[in-house]
Amino acid sequence: MARVIIGIHGLGNKPDPETLHAWWERSMIEGLNKNGYSAKLPKFEMVYWADINYKSPMDKNIDDPHNPLFLDEKYTTSPPGFEAQDYPIRKKVVKYIGKLLYRIFLNEDLTLNYAFIPSYFIRKYFRELDVYFLDDCEAVDPHTCKVKERIKQRLLETLEKYKDDEILLVSHSMGSIVAFDVLSFMAKGLRVNTFVTIGSPLGMPMIISKVANQYKQNPRGKREMITPPCICNKWINLYDILDKITFSYSLGKRYKPNDYNIKPIDSEVINDYHNAKGEHNPHKSYGYLRTKEFASLLNDFIGG
């Protein structure tokens, strides 16, 4: 039985599939090397879906920042001299506001209060997320444009392709929502050894409510968020306290165990990604993929 890594990217337009695949791969290898692991990366396959929402990919060769296809966040190696800092006050504030958001917006049955506020927030700042949940998009032929199903189908087909292998599924940002949907409601009979969410919004009240709509109420009349049934070894949720997308990062408190007794394990990391200008982006996938925590679990997966 072989081991395979499957990655699914997040929001926004991306470079072409080959480039994105290469940059994710380089990030993982960099993480292994800089953290002292000698393991060789097994087969890696990227589930690419940016082309469903965008006609042309971002171009790493365009130098004009005013060009809509200009790529300002290319893969860069870890910046020399980067020092991790602790943010005790921010952690307390984030934890407090996270609890407050749940009390304000999320009912006991996981429906939303003041639904127009989070819906407006999603439409304004996360266009693809809005399209995903509306299951609609702008296209010449609307009959061929079922965005949500097309994105999920790509991941499902890739999982089925490696159904006889040990799978490490890595999902970034909105990709973690897609992965959760597929693993929870479509991947019947499949097994995923390890599920890793990086920079995930799965803790946001509006996201939990959207996903919870797909669950039937249990006998007590409640909907509950449950770890997907096909995750058989572990679910690790990596977050950076400075990552705004992981503002409600505590998935371990929100998702109940599956039949394998697996539930999310939240792990704070330091995402050191800086673009070529030196600007820090703690949400970037490349930075998450080379953290010592991801390198450790990757090494464990490779070594068995």
CATH at 261: 3.40.50.1820
Beta pairing class for 166-172 and 231-239: unpaired
Beta strands in 189-293 (DSSP E): 192-198, 231-239, 264-268
Q: What is the pLDDT of residue 184?
A: 93
Q: What is the pLDDT of residue 89?
A: 67
- Asked whether residue 67 is assigned to any structural domain, the reply reads no
pLDDT reading at 135 higher than 80: no
Residue 65 lies in a domain: no
Closest by Cα among 24, 32, 45, 9 to 302 = 32
Over residues 37-53, the mean pLDDT reads: 95
Predicted pLDDT at 80: 87
| pLDDT tens sequence across 149-171 | 899 999 999 999 999 999 999 99
Confidence of residue 180 (pLDDT cuts 50, 70, 90): very high
The answer as to whether 66 is a domain residue is no
Does 133 reside within a domain?
Answer: yes
Q: Which residue segment(s) compose the domain that 199 sits in?
A: 3-60+72-303
Of 79-83, 112-116, 180-184, least confident by mean pLDDT is: 112-116
pLDDT tier for residue 143 given thresholds of 50, 70 and 90: very low
Does pTM top 0.85 for this prediction? yes
In a domain, 139, yes or no: yes
Question: What is the SS3 string spanning 58-69?
Answer: EECCCCCCCCCC
The predicted pLDDT at position 146 comes to 76
User: What is the reported pLDDT for 41?
Assistant: 96
Give the residue carrying structure tokens 């997308």: 245
Q: Specify the pLDDT at position 140.
A: 46
276-295 pLDDT, tens digit each: 999 999 999 999 999 999 99
Residue 250 in domain: yes
Q: For residue 232, is it within any domain?
A: yes
The three state secondary structure string of 13-47 is: CCECHHHHHHHHHHHHHHHHHHCCCCCCCCEEEEE
Give a yes or no: residue 251 inside a domain.
yes
For 51, 115, 206, 245, the CA distances from 107, given in Å and listed in that order, are 36, 11, 11, 22
Of 123-132, 178-187, 226-235, 246-255, the one with minimum mean pLDDT is 123-132
Which of residues 114 and 281 earns the better pLDDT score?
A: 281
pLDDT at 138 over 80: no
Split into its structural domains, the chain has a count of 1
